[in-house]
Amino acid sequence: MHTSYSSNRTVTGNLKAPADAWVTLQNLRVGLRFLYHLPRYLQARIDSESATAILADRLRTRDAAFLRQLELAVFSWPESPYLPLFARARLGYQDAVELVRKDGVEQTLRLFLKEGIYLSVDEFKGRRELIRGNHCAQVSPKSFQNPESRYMVAASSGGSRSSGTPVLFDLEFIRSCAVNSRIVHELRGGSRWEKTTWEVPGGGARFRLLKYSLYGPPIRAWFSQVDPAAGGLHPVYRWSTRAMRWGSYLSRQQLPKPLFSPISEPRPLFDWIDQVRLQGRTPLVFTFPSSAVALAQWGAACGRDLEGVQFTVSGEPITAARLETIRSLGGTIGARYGSVETGPLAYGCLNPTAPDHCHFQSDLWAVIQAGEEGAALGLRERSLLITGLDPRAPFLFLNTSMGDEAHLTNGSCGCPLENMGWNLHVSGIRSIEKLTSAGMTFAGTDVIAVLEQNLPGKYGGIPNDYQLVEEEAPDGRPLLKLLVHPRLGPLDAEAVREDFLAGLGSRTIVDRLMETAWREAGLLTVERRPPLQTKQGKVLHFHVLGSKVAPH
């Protein structure tokens, strides 16, 4: 066993993955189970020694954890969507045991990939049928919900493309993640930092608050970018925030109500930061990179700084331009890579060679790149394929793409995260699924460079001031708009458009072809309005409106 925190497992028994997570009865059951388990969860805090011991133990028993996951996700689960893939490859559990013993976890995963055992992001999200040879199945995230997970805490997936995949977490999984979060905070110098989060309801805020509650000072405040009292929010979010507060009253740790701190005027968050600093303590703010930039921008306009403020940022590309804006006001950034479906996958290097250089959490997850084998199957070579190693994770991931690609290296950086046994480095992380429009896929990094460097360099403003938005015309035609924030004053829209296209076309021949295609199709117009936020409060470089599915 990787932890000793599962003693209360039999109280409610293991429930099957919900057929529809949002039916009222299910909500009620999730809520009551959460309320029942929360006080005990909050009381069993994680200290430094036990965190280190748990991590070392997980790394030592990693091969066994992987085999146990294969049993859980495939061989002892008759409904497993992976089972037909293994049958087709004529691979059984004993073969996997042999392979792991001989070649280790990652080599085994590469062999699985070669045999067609993987999921593209479109297959996982149900946008495309899962077809391997004669096997054909329609799956969705629900098909991969972990039957061993006791769902208690609701979150929702990010992204602007879909209406959001429901994600429910087991408290024991949050505890597993808290172990690593505590270690990383301690190595950053802050096991006593005053932690808060600034997101939107329906994101992962509850996940984080519950994780942060297991070590360091109690959470004294947390912030929402939209008014928590506003309508339009799914009742389950309001309900589970309330349940979290009720449950916390029963333990010694009371979790406060969220405070409204809008992205356009984040005064309440800034006031809290000032208050913490006045007490001689260090504030740590979890938020999105674009939100941290917005906070810095608002602070600069009011003559307030971010001296001594620590950030953990995630959920969007962490670029040099964004980092610079935050650092120029004195803030310090710790990167994090993860998704709502998985929780954290990697934490920022303390001696980074790239803005988003992170150490992969190889005790809880395994990862390989698609590589040549994957490319032969239609995946992009640098696509990350994720495999879960924790038995309580919300979804059973096995060589599953979450739509991201990145550099993956084993080199040495000399930072303390490496000494903990996290030796795999990930950087240059970009989403590949959001950058296809009008049938043309383009390299996200190039678009980001033009939006963050070329345009602000020529027309002023900061990275958050420019955004590419795809909308749908009434006839279903995609319309691409380059949004430019009105606060930049009068600009020649035609010149901005030309510079954007020229910036894209200056990079590769493919980009030049695409630039020409866009120009000829009259695809791109410039509009003067503030960039849009997703439901999760992110300002993506490329934002898709409407409900259409990915065009590939």
Q: How far apart are CA 307 and CA 277, in angstroms?
A: 9
Q: How far apart are CA 269 and CA 309, in angstroms?
A: 12
Q: Between 119 and 424, whose beta carbon lies closer to Zn ion?
A: 424
Residue 286 phi, psi (nearest 5): -90, 125
Q: How far apart are CA 378 and CA 120, in angstroms?
A: 9
Smallest gap, in angstroms, from Cβ of residue 303 to Zn ion?
35
Smallest gap, in angstroms, from Cβ of residue 350 to Zn ion?
6
Q: Between 210 and 367, whose beta carbon lies closer to Zn ion?
A: 367
For the chain, give me the number of helices (H) and strands (E)?
A: 18, 22
Neighbour count for residue 490 (Cβ, 10 Å): 7
Q: Between 276 and 415, whose beta carbon lies closer to Zn ion?
A: 415
Q: What residue type is assigned to position 404 of the chain? A: D
Choose among 17, 14, 15, 24: nearest CA to 142: 17
According to the 3-state scheme, what is the secondary structure of 16-42?
CCCCCCCCHHHHHHHHHHHHHHHHHHH
Choose among 250, 197, 195: nearest CA to 217: 195
Q: How far apart are CA 396 and CA 88, in angstroms?
A: 20
Q: How far apart are CA 129 and CA 136, in angstroms?
A: 7
Smallest gap, in angstroms, from Cβ of residue 41 to Zn ion?
31
Smallest gap, in angstroms, from Cβ of residue 189 to Zn ion?
15
Smallest gap, in angstroms, from Cβ of residue 358 to Zn ion?
8
Span between the terminal Cα atoms of the chain, in Å: 42
Residue ranges binding Zn ion (CB under 5 A): 349, 413, 415, 417
Q: Is 454 helix (H, G, I), strand (E, B) or coil?
A: helix
Q: Between 262 and 416, whose beta carbon lies closer to Zn ion?
A: 416
Q: Between 370 and 417, whose beta carbon lies closer to Zn ion?
A: 417
Smallest gap, in angstroms, from Cβ of residue 423 to Zn ion?
9
Q: Between 219 and 349, whose beta carbon lies closer to Zn ion?
A: 349
| Cβ–Cβ under 8 Å, residues 285 and 309 | yes
Q: Between 293 and 415, whose beta carbon lies closer to Zn ion?
A: 415
Q: How far apart are CA 475 and CA 168, in angstroms?
A: 37
Place of tokens 């609701």: 154
Smallest gap, in angstroms, from Cβ of residue 407 to Zn ion?
14
Q: Between 419 and 525, whose beta carbon lies closer to Zn ion?
A: 419
| Cβ–Cβ under 8 Å, residues 117 and 89 | yes
Smallest gap, in angstroms, from Cβ of residue 413 to Zn ion?
4
Q: Between 226 and 333, whose beta carbon lies closer to Zn ion?
A: 333
Smallest gap, in angstroms, from Cβ of residue 296 to Zn ion?
25
